Amino acid sequence: MPHGPLTGKLLLFTLPIALSSMVQQLFNAADTAIVGYFGSESALAAVGTNTEMIALIVTVSSGLSIGANILIAHSIGRNQTKGLPDMLRTAMLLAALFGTIGLLIGQITAAPLLRLIQTPASIFDAAVLYLRIYMPGYPFLLLYDFGASALRARGDSRYPILALLISWIANIGLNLIFVIVFRMGVAGVAIATDISTMLSAFVVLRRLANDKIFRLTLRRPRLSPRIVGNILKTGIPSTVQGSVFCFANIFVRASVNSFGETAIAGSTIAMNFEYFTYYIITAFGQTATTFVGQNHAAGSIERCKRILWQCPVLSTVCSAIPIFAIVLFRAPLSCMFTKEAAIVKSAAVRILCILLFEPICNFYEIPAGALRGSGHALLPAACTMIGTCVFRIVWICTVFHANPTLPMLYHSFPCSWIVTILLVNIGAAIVRGQKNNF
């Protein structure tokens, strides 16, 4: 990372990260497609109304793991690899601890949260069942994310995608068996996701145990307070930055739910496409974090500047192509999830209002990633909280309240992205003006 041509390395490093996230999203897409085709509109809506909850769970896991990624990347950048086994052991124990806590909280809060977002009574019980069955897989999701972050920090972004591909294939097979053969509906797709998540964690953990640098072992489990503090110092702001999107979207979900099952199902289909393409953008953001982390630690400020302008250009091109293809073929692509014309039409409304404008997200995600890599994790988190979470809530309480239609609700997304771009880039400009920053 600190040497040689950049463009090829950025692309080769980013591609497996993007594919990993896409495969993770395909877990949810497989759930919605199979339950939508072989189940019912209410079953699709029950799984779909949990989309933002699941996105929040995944985001918390991914955000916390960034703290481990940056800590390990900085150590490698300074050529201080002796302490990596202790770092990794602490990181994995921390992942197991947070996963267990999250599992317990999820079981207790499933029903109140779904009631809070005005889940229709006709799908409420099924939605609660799906979320409660999904939560036992959360500790394994954290173990996978922390393990994958460690591997990426040392330049191995390919093995995590291999682990996910194996588990995704298993997920599809189990979905088909549980839903079609055993007719388990939403419970079946949730169980399938849990089993496949456990499989991905096992594959990554085995790789780390056999790695010559990390040598993962839990024979002498011990949490190092210093390492925990260093992980959380970056991990918590990164989690907050990602979570504010989800909290804002949960607030939006409550408004979508008020339009009924068809709107919920259509929104669910469109969101699969949104997350699928957005992961290209976030992958370049993670690449900027890791590359800037190593180069900043090595004192290569000029190289950090090159990363900061190359990543947005590459990310915009790579994300715009699939986004515009989905917008163009939105109807036939939506038909992959349902046979109901009304649901397809509802999905198209969200695609045109939100997905069409998603490429502009590159212009805050990449600067935010670079800021995290240089040790300024709190600034992008604060900017995102204001620009995304606060703005969308204010929009819903004012503009949408005055004109309560789905397009007006969805317009809050591109408008909030513009506000976030301004805030993050103003913050980045301030940081660049400081000594020894890019």
Confidence of residue 348 (pLDDT cuts 50, 70, 90): very high
Q: Is the pLDDT of residue 330 over 60?
A: yes
pTM of this prediction exceeds 0.85: no
Q: Is the pLDDT of residue 129 over 90?
A: yes
Rounded Cα distance, 250 and 427, in Å: 27
Mean pLDDT is lowest, of 26-35, 166-175, 253-262, 406-415, for 26-35
Q: Is the pLDDT of residue 223 over 60?
A: yes
Mean pLDDT of 387-391: 85
> Could you give the dihedral angle defined by the CA atoms of residues 48, 54, 55 and 56, in that order, rounded to the nearest 10 degrees?
130
Percentage of the chain modeled with pLDDT above 70:
92
State pLDDT tens for residues 269-324: 898 888 888 888 888 887 888 788 777 766 777 777 887 888 888 889 999 999 99
Residue 427: partners with Cβ closer than 8 Å, 6 or more residues away: 371, 376, 379, 380, 383
As a whole number, the mean pLDDT across the chain is 84
What's the pLDDT score for residue 328?
95
Question: Would the CA dihedral through 267, 269, 275, 280 be positive or negative?
Answer: negative
Higher pLDDT, 404 or 254: 404
DSSP 8-state symbol, 212: T
Crossing angle of the two packed helices 261-297 and 121-134, in degrees rounded to 10 = 30
Contact at 8 Å (CB) between 192 and 132? Answer: no
Higher pLDDT, 67 or 94: 94
Region for 431 from its dihedrals, namely left if φ exceeds 0, alpha if ψ lies in -120 to 50, beta otherwise = alpha
What's the pLDDT score for residue 436?
56
- Closest among 255, 268, 259 to 45, alpha carbons compared: 268
What's the pLDDT score for residue 88?
87
Confidence of residue 184 (pLDDT cuts 50, 70, 90): confident
Rounded Cα distance, 271 and 31, in Å: 13
DSSP 8-state symbol, 144: H
- Closest among 195, 196, 215 to 205, alpha carbons compared: 215
State pLDDT tens for residues 53-73: 777 787 788 778 878 877 887
Q: Is the pLDDT of residue 420 over 60?
A: yes
What's the pLDDT score for residue 86?
86
What's the pLDDT score for residue 303?
75
Read out DSSP for 225-288? HHHHHHHHHHHHHHHHHHHHHHHHHHHHHHHHHTT-HHHHHHHHHHHHHHHHHHHHHHHHHHHH
DSSP 8-state symbol, 40: -
Mean pLDDT of 108-137: 90
What's the pLDDT score for residue 49?
78
Mean pLDDT of 250-266: 85
Rounded Cα distance, 130 and 125, in Å: 9
Confidence of residue 3 (pLDDT cuts 50, 70, 90): low
